[in-house]
Structure 1
Amino acid sequence: MDLESAPRHRLVSPDRLRMLMERTGSGSSISGRELAAAVGVAHGTVNGLLSGATSTQPAATAYAICQVIGVDVLVLWAPTGRAVPADEGDIRPTVTRSRKPTPISS
């Protein structure tokens, strides 16, 4: 399976990622560059997640980030699908037409 069709996960909160990087499961901190190197992604990927410019990653990357930080994946990520769109552009507003109430006749 290539990365284009691989399941993706949406980062729940860039602030939560930043906080967990300050104190990982081992009690130490990790920089964006260190995290990127440990996961095997470009440091721009981690910077994009921290800045909010990037919100999703392939599941393998999401799991790798959590393994390095020392947290369960659902602490930081939501699997995308019907309930969680992969991109903000996937969120479609629902338009409903309001109707006037029909009077009840006796």
Structure 2
Amino acid sequence: MRHQQNAYVLVSPDLLCQLMERTGDGRPVSVRELAHAAGCHPSKIGHLRTGERRSADENEAPAIARRLGVDLLVLWKPTGRTVEAPPEPLHMAAVPA
């Protein structure tokens, strides 16, 4: 079975921004803090906030939701048979070796 790179699609960039302003513990979280918690580069969080990117892998999405203090499915839709993963922008696509 093929490993799915982008397992989750962001429900709404606006919702992500709102949740970052007031997390589950009532305090805001920065782009850098959220990226550190998710194990990704801060630019990925920035692209999720602006809508340039809509997906995250199976490790990043739960980590982001956990840091924000919300259930996974509040912020993310799982991809698969019912939800198609959005295509990655060309500037983000992997380059074959």
- % identical equivalent positions: 44
Q: How does 1:1-106 map to 2 (within 5 A)?
A: 5-6=4-5, 8-87=7-86
C-alpha separation between the residues in 2 aligned to 1:74 and 1:38? Answer: 18
Q: Is the 8 A contact 2:31 2:46 kept in 1?
A: yes
Question: SS of the residue aligned with 2:8?
Answer: strand
Q: Which letter does structure 2 place at the counterpart of 1:27?
A: G
Larger radius of gyration: 1
C-alpha separation between the residues in 2 aligned to 1:77 and 1:38? Answer: 16
TM-score of the two chains, using structure 2 as the length reference = 0.81
Unaligned runs of 5+ in 1: 90-106
Question: SS of the residue aligned with 1:59?
Answer: coil
Q: Which letter does structure 2 place at the counterpart of 1:56?
A: S
C-alpha separation between the residues in 1 aligned to 2:65 and 2:29? Answer: 12
Question: SS of the residue aligned with 1:36?
Answer: helix
